[in-house]
């Protein structure tokens, strides 16, 4: 990989990520939920910020934005819903970070303004609060149908794609996943391994599209065992997805 990645925690369970090119010295921050957390991470790495990519308008992703922008002069890319964005983006827009193309995917559901950023040359995507490790974002603004379309779009990416998401929700997600997909050997094994990871105080993020397709029920709406468990063998993919989201909300 050409770029270096630095993931750090802030708030209760948020992950921030910095991506850096050692050659050009350019650095991007994914989201800006907390200026102190991001500025400390930059200082620790000795990196200067040149871009900020905002996924969506929630405060835990934007509260530090104006301060971070003021302190670093970084150019802000994000949805048009956010006032201090310099370049507002929508579906399939492309822009450059340190000589590489960044592709924008709209993935509404959690919010209506959600954007994901895909660095094709690195086979890496930043999914904000859309796709989580073994889960997906709650539906605050969008419909289950919209989230289903968003997740469907993400799982079309190459299987090796590395996925950075914004929260450490993995343990709760894994418990729910096991409740609807209890016979899935890959899921059972992954559950054991994330328990150890978390016990050692390590992050379970990033993940890959491949691992999510194997173990994340929200990426497995076509799976026969899950459908049988839900009594929805003949149902459409989107209605299975909707049912899973409802079950998770009351889990
Ligand atoms: Zn959010």
Tell me, yes or no, whether 12 and 135 share the same domain.
yes
Q: How remote is the CA of residue 72 from the centroid of ligand 1, in Å?
A: 24
CATH number assigned to the domain comprising residue 42:
3.60.15.10
- Final residue of a structural domain among 164, 197, 231: 164
Q: Which of 137, 164, 191 is the last residue of a domain?
A: 164
Count CB neighbours of 213 within 10 A.
15
Measured in angstroms, how far is the CA atom of residue 229 from the centroid of ligand 1?
30
Considering the domain architecture, whether residues 102 and 221 belong to the same structural domain is answered as no
Q: Residue 23 Cα, ligand 1 centroid: separation in angstroms?
A: 33
- The total of structural domains in the chain comes to 2
In which domain, by residue range, is 39 found? Answer: 4-164
User: Do 160 and 183 have their domain in common?
Assistant: no
What is the 110 CA–ligand 1 centroid distance (Å)? 7
Whole-angstrom distance, CA of residue 109 vs CA of residue 24 = 36
The CA 192 to ligand 1 mean position distance, Å, reads 28
> Do 93 and 35 reside in the same domain of the chain?
yes
- Give the CA angle between residues 190, 192, 198 to the nearest 5°: 95
> Are 216 and 102 part of one and the same domain?
no
Q: What is the pTM of this model?
A: 0.97
Expressed in angstroms and rounded, the spacing between residue 56 Cα and the centre of ligand 1 is 7
Per-residue pLDDT of 110-149, as tens digits, reads 999 999 999 999 999 999 999 999 999 999 999 999 999 9
Residues 146 and 179 in one domain: no
pLDDT digits (tens, 9 = 90+) for 96-106: 999 999 999 99
Domain check: are 148 and 198 in the same one? no
148 CA → ligand 1 middle, Å: 17
Give the count of beta carbons closer than 10 Å to the beta carbon of residue 200. Answer: 7
Distance 215 CA to ligand 1 centre (A): 23
Element housing 177 (H / E): helix 170-180
Task: Specify the pLDDT at position 1.
Answer: 85
Do residues 223 and 174 both lie within one domain? Answer: yes
Between the CA of 139 and the centroid of ligand 1 the distance, in Å, is 10
Out of 121, 147, 164, pick the residue that ends a domain.
Answer: 164
pLDDT digits (tens, 9 = 90+) for 37-70: 999 999 999 999 999 999 999 999 999 999 999 9
Residues 95 and 213 in one domain: no
Position 3 scores a pLDDT of 98
Q: Compute the distance from residue 78 Cα to the ligand 1 centre, in Å.
A: 14
Are 139 and 195 found together in one domain?
no
In the reported structure, the alpha carbon of residue 225 is separated from the centroid of ligand 1 by a whole-number distance in angstroms of 31
Same domain, 29 and 117: yes
Same domain, yes or no: 61 and 75: yes
What is 55-122 written as a DSSP string? ----HHHHTTHHHHHHHH-PEEEE-TTSTT-SEE--TT-EEEETTEEEEEEE--SSSSS-EEEEEGGG
């Amino acid at each position: 990989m050409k770029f270096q990645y630095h993931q750090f925690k802030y708030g209760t369970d948020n992950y921030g990520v910095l991506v850096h090119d050692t050659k050009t010295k350019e650095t991007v921050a994914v989201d800006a939920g907390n200026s102190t957390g991001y500025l400390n991470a930059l200082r620790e790495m000795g990196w200067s910020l040149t871009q900020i990519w905002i996924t969506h308008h929630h405060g835990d992703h934007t509260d530090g934005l104006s301060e971070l922008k003021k302190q670093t002069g970084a150019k802000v890319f994000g949805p048009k819903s956010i006032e201090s964005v310099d370049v507002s983006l929508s579906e399939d827009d492309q822009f450059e970070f340190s000589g590489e193309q960044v592709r924008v995917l709209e993935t509404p559901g959690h919010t209506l303004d959600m954007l994901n950023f895909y660095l094709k040359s690195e086979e890496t995507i930043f999914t904000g609060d859309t796709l989580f490790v073994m889960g997906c974002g709650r539906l605050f603004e969008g419909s289950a149908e919209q989230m289903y379309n968003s997740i469907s779009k993400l799982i079309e990416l190459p299987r090796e794609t590395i996925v950075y998401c914004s929260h450490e929700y993995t343990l709760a997600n894994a418990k729910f996943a096991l409740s609807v997909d209890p016979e899935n050997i890959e899921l059972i094994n992954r559950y054991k391994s994330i328990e150890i990871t978390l016990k050692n105080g390590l992050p379970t993020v990033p993940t890959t599209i491949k691992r999510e397709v194997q173990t994340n029920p929200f990426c497995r709406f076509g799976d026969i065992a899950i459908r049988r468990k839900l009594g929805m063998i003949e149902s459409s993919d989107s209605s299975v997805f909707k049912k899973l989201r409802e079950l998770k909300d009351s889990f």
